[in-house]
């Protein structure tokens, strides 16, 4: 399958932007805990941040469609993120050791107000920047192809590989500069790398955009707002079909919430699980817990071409895109089912084989590849042109809701001597905890399969 060169420019731009984002994210909680807050406070700030970064794409999409066009929004977003990363760097430059023992009390005589304000404004700039960047780059991928082009699923899967190459390399590189409570200033080098990489990303995008970002018939993409009709477009008023298509996107976005709410356990409950209940020792060497975060990204990069090949090989038996989303949810349910049985009857103090969590991530990523890039492709095909980026923003809004929900669900992670409840049902051990995600995604998957015929008709 041949793809336009513009796809590879967007691939590189997104790869480096995600490197910057995930590099900073890998350090953020560690930085806060080593220098500024207790674990609980740091988790709250982290949860609020990851939820806000996916809320602003709604505004970023609107601004692009209405005023700026995609290119200008991407550049503005990238610059905001570079400034944000630089402010994080400054924060870590001004930080002074204030934690007395690891995870312990903060020395009140040390004043870190300046570092705190740099961090808060840095995170704010990252929230604004991501909002302007994220929906618009995805919209541009779609614009490289005619509206109903069959190559779109494959194109978004390739683009998604870029996302994950960035996500894979970032914690490995930025993680080298993990500081400690004795030396929190060391974190600054990780933030500085993130700042340099996003700046490079913008430089590459700015240099090559005119050459490669063109439609199949040679028109420049993303230069003007989509609500301004170009000479090629006829009428611009929304039709009944457009409204129905937008409704389909909203319905699908609701289903996707269940996917990411389980998926995003990776950063919290699954990290505790990897830390406390997984045997990570190989020949006397213990694998760092933060490395577990790279497994999903690694599997994504390896499996994306396999999935593309598989969909293509299936020919006329290739499932409909909505069925692919439902398959994604079913695979997620299976992934948690595997681990739920792996930990059945395991005593709290005991550690289980690393293979359980690896199997979970492997199956979960198969689900991710069946849902996430395919979802982007669907949004791109269904959105009326003038609202294309806004609809991407709505799609990402589900991730925002999911991140918030994921944090709430993670608090149900079993702790000794405490019984927690979900809708009145007691969650007593890890088995019960993982079953929450099995049931949640299985129900969503079955419902989506049932709605498939109706949604397909609405898509016509």
* Shortest distance in whole angstroms from residue 90 CB to ligand GLN: 25
394 touches 57 (CB < 8 A):
no
Residues that bind ligand GLN (rule: CB under 6 A) add up to a total of 6
**CA distance linking residue 373 with residue 158, whole number of Å:** 9
* Shortest distance in whole angstroms from residue 119 CB to ligand GLN: 22
* Shortest distance in whole angstroms from residue 175 CB to ligand GLN: 18
Nearer to ligand GLN, 91 or 402 (CB): 402
Residues 403-432 close enough to bind ligand GLN by CB under 6 A? none
How many helices (H) and strands (E) would you count in the chain?
14, 4
* Shortest distance in whole angstroms from residue 163 CB to ligand GLN: 4
Cα 159 versus chain centre, distance: 13
Q: Which residue is nearest to ligand GLN (CB)?
A: 399
Neighbouring residues of 195: CB distance < 8 A, sequence distance ≥ 6: 20, 82, 85, 86, 88, 89
Q: Is 18 in the site for ligand GLN (CB under 6 A)?
A: yes
14 touches 137 (CB < 8 A):
yes
**CA distance linking residue 246 with residue 240, whole number of Å:** 10
Q: Is 399 in the site for ligand GLN (CB under 6 A)?
A: yes
Element (H, E) at 173: helix 152-174
Residues 345-384 close enough to bind ligand GLN by CB under 6 A? 372
Q: Is 130 in the site for ligand GLN (CB under 6 A)?
A: no
- Identify the CA nearest to 58 among candidates 288, 396, 403: 396
**CA distance linking residue 65 with residue 229, whole number of Å:** 11
Q: Of 27, 90, 155, 163, which lies in the binding site for ligand GLN, with binding defined by CB under 6 A?
A: 163
Nearer to ligand GLN, 372 or 383 (CB): 372
* Shortest distance in whole angstroms from residue 165 CB to ligand GLN: 11
* Shortest distance in whole angstroms from residue 131 CB to ligand GLN: 13
Nearer to ligand GLN, 11 or 260 (CB): 260
Q: Is 260 in the site for ligand GLN (CB under 6 A)?
A: yes
Bridge-based pairing state of the strands 281-282 and 285-286 = antiparallel
Where on the chain is the footprint of ligand GLN (CB under 6 A)? 18, 163, 260, 372, 396, 399
């Amino acid at each position: 399958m041949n793809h336009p060169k513009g796809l590879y420019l967007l691939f590189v731009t997104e790869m480096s932007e995600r490197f910057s984002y995930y590099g900073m994210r890998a350090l953020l909680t560690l930085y806060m805990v080593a220098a500024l807050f207790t674990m609980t406070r740091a988790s709250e700030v982290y949860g609020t941040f990851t939820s806000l970064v996916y809320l602003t794409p709604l505004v970023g999409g609107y601004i692009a469609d209405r005023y700026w066009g995609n290119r200008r929004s991407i550049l503005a977003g990238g610059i905001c993120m570079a400034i944000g990363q630089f402010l994080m760097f400054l924060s870590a430059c001004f930080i002074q050791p204030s934690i007395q023992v690891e995870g312990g009390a903060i020395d009140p005589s040390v004043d870190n107000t300046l570092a705190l304000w740099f961090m808060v404004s840095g995170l704010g700039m990252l929230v604004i920047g991501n909002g302007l960047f994220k929906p618009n780059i995805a919209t541009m991928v779609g614009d490289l192809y005619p509206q109903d082009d069959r190559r779109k699923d494959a194109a978004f899967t390739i683009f998604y590989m870029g996302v994950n190459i960035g996500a894979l390399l970032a914690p490995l590189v930025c993680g080298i500069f993990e500081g400690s409570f004795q030396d929190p200033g060391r974190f600054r080098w990780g933030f500085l790398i993130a700042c340099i990489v996003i700046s490079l990303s913008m430089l590459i995008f700015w240099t090559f955009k005119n050459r490669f970002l063109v439609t199949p018939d040679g028109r420049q993409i993303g230069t003007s707002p989509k609500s301004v009709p170009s000479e090629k477009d006829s009428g611009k008023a929304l039709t009944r079909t457009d409204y129905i298509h937008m409704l389909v996107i909203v319905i699908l976005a609701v289903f996707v919430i269940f996917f990411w709410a389980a998926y995003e356990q990776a950063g919290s409950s699954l990290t505790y699980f990897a830390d406390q209940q997984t045997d990570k020792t190989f020949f006397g060497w213990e694998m760092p817990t933060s490395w577990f975060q790279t497994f999903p990204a690694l599997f994504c990069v390896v499996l994306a071409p396999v999935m593309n090949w598989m969909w293509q090989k299936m020919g006329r038996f290739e499932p409909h895109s909505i069925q692919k989303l439902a398959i994604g949810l079913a695979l997620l349910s299976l992934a948690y089912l595997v681990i739920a049985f792996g930990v059945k009857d395991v005593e709290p103090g005991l550690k289980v084989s690393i293979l359980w969590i690896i199997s979970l991530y492997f199956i979960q990523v198969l689900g991710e590849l069946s849902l996430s890039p395919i979802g982007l492709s669907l949004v791109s095909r269904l959105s009326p042109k003038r609202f294309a980026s806004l609809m991407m923003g709505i799609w990402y809004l589900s991730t925002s809701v999911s991140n918030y929900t994921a944090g709430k669900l993670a608090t149900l992670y079993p702790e000794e001597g405490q019984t927690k409840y979900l809708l009145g049902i007691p969650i007593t051990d890890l088995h019960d905890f993982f079953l929450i995600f099995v049931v949640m995604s299985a129900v969503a998957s079955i419902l989506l399969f049932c709605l498939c015929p109706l949604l397909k008709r609405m898509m016509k």
